[in-house]
Structure 1
Amino acid sequence: IGTFGGWNMVIYKNAPNKDAAWKFIEYWTSKEVNEKVSSLTPANIEAAKSFLTNKRKFSDVIFQQLTQALYRPIFPKYPDLAEIQRNATTAILTGTSDVDSALKTATEEINALLADYYGTN
C-alpha cells in the first residue's frame, strides 16, 4: 500500500472568511487549475487521470495505487521510520539484501524505534 503525502487544505472551525477559503479550495482543486499546478499527481480525480495519462508510463497502475493509498501516520518519529523503509526498499532493489532479510531488519528497527519512543524498552 502506498502512502499519501503533500499538501492539506483545511478550514479551521474558528477561521475568519470561511466562505472565501472554501472558494479558494474549490478553485485550487478544480481540474483546470489542479492539473497545471501539481508537479506530482493532482488531487482532482479527472486532473489526475489526465495528468498520469499524459506524463507517466503505466498510468492505470499508478492511478490504482493512489486509490488504495493511506495517509502517513501522525508520529513525531515518522522521518526515522520512513528512512528505515527506504533503506529496506533500496537494499531489495539493489540486490544487496534478499526480501526476507531486508524486511526482518526493517521490522526489528521499526519495533525498536517505537519501543524507544513509547518507553517500552
Structure 2
Amino acid sequence: MLRLLKSPSRLIAWTVANVTGMGLYLLLASRLWSVKGEENTPGGPGDAFYYIFILLPILLFFAAINVAELYRIVRRSNEKRIAVFIWTTMLCLWIAIFLVDHIQGVRNISADFS
C-alpha cells in the first residue's frame, strides 16, 4: 500500500484502503453525533477522550499513509499526472468526510444547560 503506484492492483488497493478508512471513520464518528430531538443538549463527558483516542489515530494513520504515498509519487512516478489526480481526489474525499463529521457533530448547546 505504501509502495509506488506502478500497477493497477496497487492503485486499487490504496484506493480501497482509503475508502474503507473513510467508512470506518464515519461509522465511529457517528457515535458522537447528536440524536434527533437532542440537538441542543451537551455531549457526554467522554466525547473528547473518544475523539482523541479513537478518531484522531485513524485520521493520523491515513494522513501518514497518504503523505508517504504523495512523496513516492513525486519522487518516482512516471505518470505523475494520473497519480497526483487520484491522490488529490482522495484528499478531497477525506476533507469532505471530515466536514460531514464536523457538521453532524457540532452541538449548539442551549442556554438552559449553561
The reply to whether TM is greater than 0.5 is no
The answer to which structure has the higher helix fraction is: 2
Q: Which has the higher contact order (CA 8 A, sep 6+)?
A: 2
